[in-house]
């Protein structure tokens, strides 16, 4: 049997995307709409979120919005309970700041934990009871989950925690045929990352394919949400232009790789 092009379509599906006002979340939400899904999106950035919703509706899809703090368990539960059945959940919301671990105070640490890990557990617990058999959960992690991340220690630890939790959930939710996978992006031009790179080094030298764009992550998200990936669960798509493969190697202007 030949795989149908329709296997990548999301017609009739309802997707929840967190942190969808800008960057990867925006790209994923718009791609889902373009492939036929209806959407519920949330963010604290109301202006940009409503701009994204307007674009989704212009494609002929429905889009429910909420100005929401994904760290607030009660608020997440209330919003999710107001939604119809959920076929796809994308936990994209997250964030961090640059500071060496010993300079991070308790408040800063709690903020990074809640924004990157607690937000995921909030939405998984709320959405799974509303997911039919064959649903898909996609958690956006980071290449930092797989290598040391000086200046982003708590963030990297939380992304690793999400990756580990996703593998466990892939087994625990398999009875409902709910698939759980992660995307580990890096090297993409997004507003959230614009001020995070420090120093005068060329980070692009660690990217075999050069700098990417949010649509590169959206392509992976389409695949993981669709029936084309029906036999894929508990795994990670390293959508990072080779950053994970490099693990410290850098490409010279001549195209050679050096440690």
Q: Where in the sequence numbering do the catalytic residues fall?
A: 155
Residues 241 and 186: beta-carbon distance below 8 Å: yes
Q: Where would I find the H helices in the chain? A: 23-34, 46-58, 73-81, 106-113, 119-127, 153-172, 214-225, 243-246
Give Cα 149 distance to the centre of its chain: 19
Q: Residue 60 and residue 50: Cα distance in Å, rounded? A: 15
Structure tokens at 254: 């001549």
Which residues, 6 or more positions from 101, have their beta carbon under 8 angstroms from its beta carbon? 153, 154
- 206-225 in b/e form (b: 16+ CB < 10 A) is bbeeeebebebbbbbbbbbb
- Under a CB-based contact definition with an 8 Å cutoff, are residues 36 and 10 in contact? yes
| Cβ–Cβ < 8 Å for 211, 187 | yes
Alpha-carbon distance of 114 to 158, in angstroms, equals 9
- In degrees and rounded to multiples of 5, residue 250 shows phi and psi of -130, 145
Residue 190 contacts residue 211 (beta carbons within 8 Å): no
């Amino acid at each position: 049997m030949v795989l149908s092009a329709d296997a990548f379509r999301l017609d009739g599906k309802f997707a929840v995307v967190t942190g969808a006002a800008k960057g990867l979340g925006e790209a994923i939400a718009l791609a889902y709409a373009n492939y036929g899904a209806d959407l519920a999106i949330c963010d604290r950035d109301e202006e940009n979120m409503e701009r994204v919703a307007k674009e989704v509706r212009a494609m002929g899809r429905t889009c429910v919005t909420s100005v929401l703090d994904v760290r607030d368990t009660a608020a997440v539960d209330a919003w999710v309970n107001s939604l119809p059945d959920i076929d796809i959940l994308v936990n994209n919301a997250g964030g961090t700041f640059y500071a060496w671990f010993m300079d991070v105070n308790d408040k800063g640490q709690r903020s990074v934990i809640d924004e990157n890990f607690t937000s995921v557990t909030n939405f998984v617990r709320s959405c799974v009871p509303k997911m039919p058999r064959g649903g898909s959960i996609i958690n956006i992690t980071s290449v930092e989950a797989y290598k040391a991340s000086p200046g982003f220690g708590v963030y990297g630890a939380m992304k690793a925690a999400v990756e580990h939790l996703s593998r466990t959930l892939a087994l625990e939710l398999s009875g409902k045929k709910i698939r759980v996978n992660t995307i580990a992006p890096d090297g993409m031009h997004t507003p959230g990352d614009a001020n995070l790179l420090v120093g005068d080094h060329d980070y692009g030298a660690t990217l075999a394919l050069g700098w990417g764009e949010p649509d590169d992550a959206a392509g992976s998200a389409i695949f993981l949400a669709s029936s084309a990936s029906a036999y894929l669960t508990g795994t990670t798509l390293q959508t990072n232009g080779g950053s994970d493969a490099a693990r410290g190697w850098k490409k010279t202007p001549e195209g050679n790789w050096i440690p």
